[in-house]
Amino acid sequence: MNLTNKTSKLTNFKISPKPSSTISPSPPPPPPPDPATIANLILKGDNPESLTQALHSLPEWTPHLVQTILKRLWNHGPKALQFFNLLETHPSYRHSAASFDHAIDIAARLRDYKTTWTLVCKMRSSKLGPTPKTFAIITERYVSAGKADKALKIFLSMHEHGCQQDLNSFNAFLDVLCKSKRAEMAYKLFKIFRGRFKADVISYNIIANGFCLKKQTPRALEVMREMIERGLEPTLTTYNILLKGYFRAGQIKEGWEFFLQMKKRKIEIDVVSYTTVVHGFGVAGEVEKSRKVFDEMVGAGVLPSVATYNALIQVLCKKDCVENALVVFDEMLRRGYVPNATTYNVVIRGLCHAGKMDMAIEFMDKMKDDCEPTIQTFNVVIRYYCDDGEIEKALEVLEKMNGGTCLPNLDTYNILIGAMFVRKKSDDLLIAGKLLIEMVDRGFLPRKFTFNRVLNGLMLTGNQGFAQEILRLQSKCGSLPRQFRL
DNA sequence: GCGCCTACGC
């Protein structure tokens, strides 16, 4: 047995089998394994054999623990899949359907379709699926990779994988198309298949929302009329979709009139409607109207949600000043609301934008009492440090990420690499090269522009050798699976 | 299964 450093590290964290020197007759059970520790072990473990051994020797694997670790490794696709594969040979643990879905999502995001379908086959032979959820994930990834036709074929062949299509999966597929701005294609398919799947209000809502996302409110209205003609009653969701559509398309007046019409027709306006209007007015620069609607809703017997507060706080940050936003933030706390990650991210962005970096960092620490910082939190702070020329501080934040909760994503790398050119320092270019290698290693594909920029920089600063290395990496990337934004 | 809040189109 070859016990490496990595395995003894496990002992330090007390997640290996109990020590033999127990005094009490019934020793307390070992503490549950800490997901962060295990995730870091996987990230650092470059020796697959010792890693396998370490993971297999863990006392209790649960689907929940596996899920948590996969989530943590989300921005390191190759490592996440390695982890998933290593557990497949575990003597007793068996993957759950949810873990399979997660691994399939990661493989498809890496555009590693061979692995994706291998996992689907394994899922089937373990009698865990594939489920409609699995197909929603796969088709979404194909569509966002620009392969909508392939996604359609996959949807239509679901039954060959032992998964029957029904109205729910049809709606889910339409939604995938609409969310990636393919409302026209979704609408065509909808017309072809609505009889076969007995399209319902939700199908119509999805299509209407698809047109709204493309700022085509007249088309969305058409869809709504069509549903009425066919004897389906629009729901509050239908109206809220249209309402949002007007504001998103910049039709503020139309949006407000639509809202008044909803009131007039005695439609029970809910917190979503109000949040839409508060946000819509604010984004259009109508801060006073935004506030007025916010104040009105309580009188109308509709309580604001955290999302409503988030909308108002964001509006004040962007169109008024961060100080007034903080007043609302405090008011929210006084009324017993628990801010979520969006609340903090909005406030942190506002503080950064106002040049109050120290306060932003304070909020980032305070945030941990209520929720975990997200990738957006880190990216905002890194971006503003870079803009301020505080490259070292930005890199410190990156270090923190790699040692902790949230791994850097494509945006993080793009922001940082971009910042390595402002000081015209040779050392910065070396860091840019290192970051480029790291991001490729983690399954992100840099744009051609990024490669060329780093190459030029390295050549100009006399780092020909390193430039050669980057060049080799670039040619290797041509055949690598591609990954893009989340 | 759809709708509100971070982030949005170059």
pLDDT tens digits, residue range A314-338?
A: 999 999 999 999 999 999 999 999 9
pLDDT of residue A129: 84
Instruction: Round and report the angstrom distance from CA (A136) to C1' (B2).
Output: 15
Instruction: Round and report the angstrom distance from CA (A469) to C1' (B10).
Output: 32
pLDDT of residue A57: 87
**Digit-coded pLDDT (tens) for A347-388:** 999 999 999 999 999 999 999 999 999 999 999 999 999 999
What is the C-alpha separation between A169 and A228, in angstroms, rounded? 23
For the purposes of burial, counting CB atoms within 10 Å of the CB of A448, is it exposed (0-12), middle (13-18) or buried (19 or more)?
exposed
Tell me the C-alpha to C-alpha distance, in Å, between residue A216 and each of A144, A223, A243, A250: 21, 11, 12, 11
Q: Kindly report which amino acid residue has its CA closest to the C1' atom of nucleotide B5.
A: A307
pLDDT of residue A14: 35
Instruction: Round and report the angstrom distance from CA (A460) to C1' (B7).
Output: 35
Nucleotide nearest residue A136, measured CA to C1': B1
What is the C-alpha separation between A211 and A202, in angstroms, rounded? 14
pLDDT of residue A58: 81
Instruction: Round and report the angstrom distance from CA (A156) to C1' (B5).
Output: 35
Nucleotide nearest residue A238, measured CA to C1': B3
Instruction: Round and report the angstrom distance from CA (A35) to C1' (B6).
Output: 26
Q: What angle do CA A484, A184, A482 make, to 5 degrees?
A: 15
pLDDT of residue A35: 86
What is the C-alpha separation between A395 and A416, in angstroms, rounded? 8
What is the C-alpha separation between A477 and A469, in angstroms, rounded? 12
User: Which residues are CB-contacts of A38 (< 8 A; sequence separation ≥ 6)?
Assistant: A15, A55, A58, A65, A69
What is the C-alpha separation between A225 and A145, in angstroms, rounded? 33
pLDDT of residue A189: 96
In chain A, which residues have pLDDT < 50?
1-23, 479-481, 484-486
What is the C-alpha separation between A355 and A348, in angstroms, rounded? 11
The alpha carbon dihedral of A232, A235, A241, A244 has a sign of positive
3-state secondary structure of A126: coil
Joined together, the tokens standing for residue A282 give: 């604010």
For the purposes of burial, counting CB atoms within 10 Å of the CB of A253, is it exposed (0-12), middle (13-18) or buried (19 or more)?
exposed
Nucleotide nearest residue A237, measured CA to C1': B3
pLDDT of residue A392: 95
pLDDT of residue A363: 96
For the purposes of burial, counting CB atoms within 10 Å of the CB of A392, is it exposed (0-12), middle (13-18) or buried (19 or more)?
exposed
pLDDT of residue A26: 65
pLDDT of residue A311: 97
What is the C-alpha separation between A441 and A481, in angstroms, rounded? 11
Q: What angle do CA A442, A444, A447 make, to 5 degrees?
A: 145
pTM value surpassing 0.85: yes
Residues A342-362 as b or e (16 or more Cβ within 10 Å = b): bbbbbbbbbbbeeebbebbbe
Cis peptide before A30 (omega within 30 of 0): no
pLDDT of residue A483: 53
Nucleotide nearest residue A280, measured CA to C1': B4
Joined together, the tokens standing for residue A152 give: 């359609």
pLDDT of residue A25: 59
Q: What angle do CA A118, A121, A127 make, to 5 degrees?
A: 145
Q: Kindly report which amino acid residue has its CA closest to the C1' atom of nucleotide B8.
A: A248
Joined together, the tokens standing for residue A181 give: 């701005």
Joined together, the tokens standing for residue A200 give: 């319902």
What is the C-alpha separation between A11 and A203, in angstroms, rounded? 54
- Pinpoint the alpha helices (H) of A180-231: 183-197, 201-213, 217-229
pLDDT of residue A150: 96
Q: Which nucleotides of B are covered by protein (CB under 7 A)?
A: 1-8
CB A427 within 8 A of CB A433: no
Q: Kindly report which amino acid residue has its CA closest to the C1' atom of nucleotide B6.
A: A342
3-state secondary structure of A242: helix
| Short-list A108, A139, A74, A138, CA closest to A483 | A108
